[in-house]
A = this chain, B = another copy of it.
Amino acid sequence: MTVSEKSLANAIRALSMDAVEAANSGHPGMPMGMADVATVLFSDYMKFDPTLPSWADRDRFVLSAGHGSMLIYSLLHLTGYARPTMEDIASFRQLHSPCAGHPENFELAGVEATTGPLGSGLATAVGMAIAERHLNAQFGDDLVDHRTWVIAGDGCLMEGINHEAIGLAGHLNLGRLIVLWDDNKITIDGAVDLSSSEDVLARYAATGWHVVSCDGHDVADVRRALAEAVADPRPSIVACATKIGYGAPNKAGTSGVHGSALGASEVAAARDYLGWADAPFVIPADIADAWKAIGAKGRDVRAAWEERLASHAQGAEFSRRMAGTLPDDFSLDTYIDSLIANPQKVATRKASELALGAINEMLPETLGGSADLTGSNNTKTKSTGPLTRDDYAGRYVYYGIREFGMACAMNGLALHGGVIPYGGTFLVFSDYMRAGIRLAALQQQRVIHVLTHDSIGLGEDGPTHQPIEHVMSLRMIPNLDVYRPADIVETAECWELALKDAGGPSVLALTRQNLPQLRTEKASENLSAKGGYRLVAATAERKVVLIATGSEVEIAVATAKALEEQGIGADVISMPSWAHFEAQPQAYKDDLLPHHVLRASIEAGTTFGWERYTGIAGLRFGIDSFGASAPAPALYDYFGLTAAKIAPQIVAALNS
């Protein structure tokens, strides 16, 4: 017995409209419109095995139009993934259901990326496609030979990130990347032509993409277009002409069907229209079986792949890398010892380059890059040759002037697995890619952002380039580790912490200007792991505790010295990571920051938030306005961030 593809697609439509109806919340329009395309994709093109969602050589599918989450939930359920169950789907958008409003990689195996912020999914897929070619170049066709598929809507294509993503993909000629565009001519506000007059395919063609169109409700035509896309060596976009909410006879083709439940009468009308007689959340056995059979097609392919893996010379290394485990012998101890032996005064961006020199030799999985600031971010080392369309084995991506695109591509690299991405730009431009950094944190991915020029210390470029609120505002993103190391030793320690944290992203905030090496004695452990530690203990009776980060630790040390010369004891706490410090036992924190002693923070950024450690009665030295254009020493003086200006204020506070 053959089940028609229309029936297979209608199962997606039924589940989508019923789940949204039950929740009285959600987006039925996209899953109903793209059901036919998705059916062709999953039946004939996608390489996957629901019994092993983590199979390394599976095709990746990214639902960039994440609001259409019922499409992927339907597909995962129908093809036989353990989750979501039908109960999960029936509790769509309810607390603790894995079927969240938007698809979340940490909720369901088979959801490759957390999507919803428009455009970011497609940009993430670009990273996955880079990872595939990179690992293919390193491990060969036997282990790595898969595609990355994307479903994207007009929103994904109109967002600026789309330009960055497809520019990078076209430049690197990522032929394994295929975007299925839900070309339904509708956005939330109404017709697409309310806000756009663009020839989308011409734009893609201008960036080196293969373009093809099809009728998204004609499965034969969809199959033809996908075949063309697969055959073409360039990345492909397939414009799938669809009707949003296809199957809802009165509402299809309107923006009204995008983001609201259809309502009982229209659901009933859709059942009639589609010839779907069953109750909500019931799939006829023949259709369910046909979907299960589709899900079973990949099992043998996967088994054959596992045999190849078992006998592959690089099999163990490949598995280690895909598991995200660092080599057992990975350590920066020897490197750090060498720093202790030969103290150096360097910018922490340079310190980062030196640390990376050691790291990149030890870890073949690091994949670096910069958004066109390679020489300023110091992100390239001698073991990282360029990754190009002609040599995907390279370990350095020239991301171009595409910060957000870089951040999302790095998320995709990490989500794919097998590589540890890091990339650089100026800290102030974290604003350009903040949504990408947040998605790394939400998705729990090890992505390392090398953000240099981290304060007014960058000097003459002035307020457009000087971070003020950036370090602090990044600290408040959940699950993001922000490090601001004070010298070359802390920089190495922070790199080690960032690499060892497989469950989330890190930011390294690094200076342009040179900093003395403050850590000149061998420590028994990674002191930065505590987040904050006593770098200098008071000699005279302790009257003040100075807390500083990064380049201002040097200033705190000088301030302490000036105070000690007046008989005022001062501790200096270096605090490279607030998050790690927060995680310490209360007794440790109280010992470092005793409540009965005056506490003062020094950081060349906003003072906002430092009340946490200084208390309201403490002092906070920082900058609560925009910066200015001048040489760095003049700026530090102008903004009052020198020992000569700080010490007297502390004396005054102690005497008041």
Which A residues are closer than 8 A to B by beta carbons?
23, 25-26, 66-67, 93-97, 100-102, 104, 114-119, 154-155, 158-164, 167-168, 170-171, 187-189, 194-200, 202-203, 205-208, 370, 372-376, 386, 398-405, 428-429, 431-432, 434-435, 438-439, 441-442, 459-465, 468-469, 472-473, 475-479, 595, 606, 608-609, 611-612, 615-616, 624-626, 628-631, 634-635, 638
Contacts and interface: CB of A to CB of B under 8 A. Distances in A.
B402 A464 contact: no
A426 B405 CA distance: 21
A372 B187 contact: yes
Contacts of A96: 630
Contacts of A401: 118-119, 154-155, 158-159, 187, 195
A198 B208 contact: yes
A115 B465 CA distance: 10
A398 to B, nearest CB: 4
Contacts of A611: 609, 611-612, 616
Nearest to A459: B25
27 contacts: A25-B631, A26-B460, A94-B629, A95-B631, A95-B635, A100-B628, A102-B629, A104-B464, A116-B465, A117-B428, A117-B431, A159-B164, A187-B401, A188-B375, A189-B372, A189-B373, A195-B398, A195-B399, A195-B400, A195-B402, A198-B207, A198-B208, A199-B206, A202-B203, A469-B478, A473-B476, A475-B608
Contacts of A472: 473, 476
Closest 6 CB pairs of A and B: A160-B160, A195-B400, A163-B163, A116-B464, A100-B629, A95-B630
A91 to B, nearest CB: 10
A349 to B, nearest CB: 15
A429 B631 CA distance: 35
A431 B114 CA distance: 16
Contacts of A428: 117
Contact of A626 (B25, B168, B431, B479): B479
Nearest to A461: B101
Nearest to A399: B195
A371 to B, nearest CB: 9
Given A189-B370, A476-B609, 6 more contacts: A93-B629, A102-B465, A117-B464, A189-B374, A469-B477, A612-B616
A612 B626 CA distance: 21
Nearest to A170: B197
Contact of A160 (B208, B405, B434, B631): B405
